[in-house]
Amino acid sequence: MQYPARFEPDLEAGGYVVTFRDIPEAITQGDDDAEAMAMAEDVLISSMDFYFEDRRIVPSPSAALPNELMVALPASVAVKVLLLNEMLAQKVGPSELARRLGTIPQVVNRLIDLHHTTKIDKVEQALGCLGKRLEFTAV
């Protein structure tokens, strides 16, 4: 899962200001190309917390425009985004998903906690209970 980001030169302070069209909460800056990209990756992950805490659908990434670079979410975050979005789209809360998985709601809450390490098989199983399959493509 990659989001387009705009890296604009900061004429006053130097370096680059980075913004994301799809994730307006994600704004950062870096002193050079490498630092700006590292900061972009970090702020993109951090911005996901707003969506997860508020239980809001995370916007899907748009295609990049000519003046944008793509910034990837780590796979461990991307699969949790997919799970949260599907739960919200189907209006399935942690208690209902726990019932379908044969477990307790606390387990599901950990599945959609970005700060909790989760085995990808568990997320795949939860998506299966929502009628979805997790697929990967190498590009």
CA dihedral 122, 127, 132, 133 (to 10 degrees): -20
Mark whether 82 and 95 lie in a shared domain. yes
Per residue in 91-130, pLDDT (tens digit) is 999 999 999 999 999 999 999 999 999 999 999 999 999 9
In a domain, 87, yes or no: yes
pLDDT above 80 (res 139):
no
For 32, the domain range is 2-72
Q: Distance between CA 91 and CA 21 in Å, rounded?
A: 26
Split at pLDDT 50, 70, 90, the class of 12 is confident
For residue 66, tell me if it sits in a domain.
Answer: yes
Count of structural domains, the chain: 2
pLDDT in tens, 42-95: 999 999 999 999 999 999 999 999 999 999 999 999 999 999 999 999 999 999
Q: Do the Cβ atoms of 45 and 80 come closer than 8 Å?
A: no
Is residue 45 in a domain? yes
pLDDT of the residue at 19: 97
Query: What end-to-end distance do the CA atoms of the chain give, in Å?
Result: 12
| Helices within the chain (DSSP H only) | 33-54, 75-90, 94-101, 105-111, 120-129
Are 52 and 102 within one domain?
no
